[in-house]
Amino acid sequence: IASASDDGTIRLWEADTGQPLGEPLRGHEAWIWAVAFSPDGSRIVSGSSDKTIRLWDASTGQPLGEPLRGHEGRVMSVAFSLDGSKIVSGSDDKTIRLWDAAIGKHTSAYA
């Protein structure tokens, strides 16, 4: 289980015991509103008030690449596509964006 926090961290939890797994994931500069696992469980995506999206290695907790930038407002929702190749994000800038999860670039924006 992954949880997001207003302190800018993500915590991973053991589903069976409810115990935290390791140290919090740090990298966002503000409140994290959304977090999701990739379909295969290998990556985590997060969206924040710092207007960025971040990818994480779920087993190590390390960030994968640079933050994804493109929204002009806080990122309120994130999700992977069923095959894990795309990320969709929604922002209070009234847009949704579609990102290529492999290269970390947005491919489409919709208002």
- 44 lies in a domain? yes
- pLDDT at residue 23 tops 80: yes
Q: What is the pLDDT of residue 110?
A: 73
- 109 lies in a domain? no
User: How many C-beta neighbours within 10 Å does residue 15 have?
Assistant: 8
**Span 38-53, average pLDDT:** 97
The alpha-helical segments, DSSP class H, found in the chain are none
Q: What is the pLDDT of residue 111?
A: 63
Nearest Cα neighbor of 52 from 94, 97, 11 is 97
Q: What is the pLDDT of residue 102?
A: 86
Q: What is the pLDDT of residue 33?
A: 98
Nearest Cα neighbor of 50 from 64, 63, 67 is 67
How far, CA to CA in Å, does 51 sit from each of 15, 20, 90? 29, 27, 11
**Span 3-14, average pLDDT:** 96
pTM of the model: 0.92
Percentages helix, strand, coil for the chain (3-state, rounded to 5) are 0, 50, 50
- 60 lies in a domain? yes
Q: Could you give the 3-state DSSP secondary structure of residue 27? A: coil
- 110 lies in a domain? no
- 107 lies in a domain? no
**What total number of domains does the chain contain?**
1
Residue-range definition of the domain harbouring residue 87? 2-100
Q: What is the pLDDT of residue 21?
A: 94
Q: What is the pLDDT of residue 107?
A: 74
Q: What is the pLDDT of residues 48-87, one digit of tens each?
A: 999 999 999 999 999 999 999 999 999 999 999 999 999 9
Q: What is the CATH number of the domain that holds 95?
A: 2.120.10.30
- pLDDT at residue 31 tops 90: yes
Nearest Cα neighbor of 71 from 89, 84, 55 is 89
- 105 lies in a domain? no
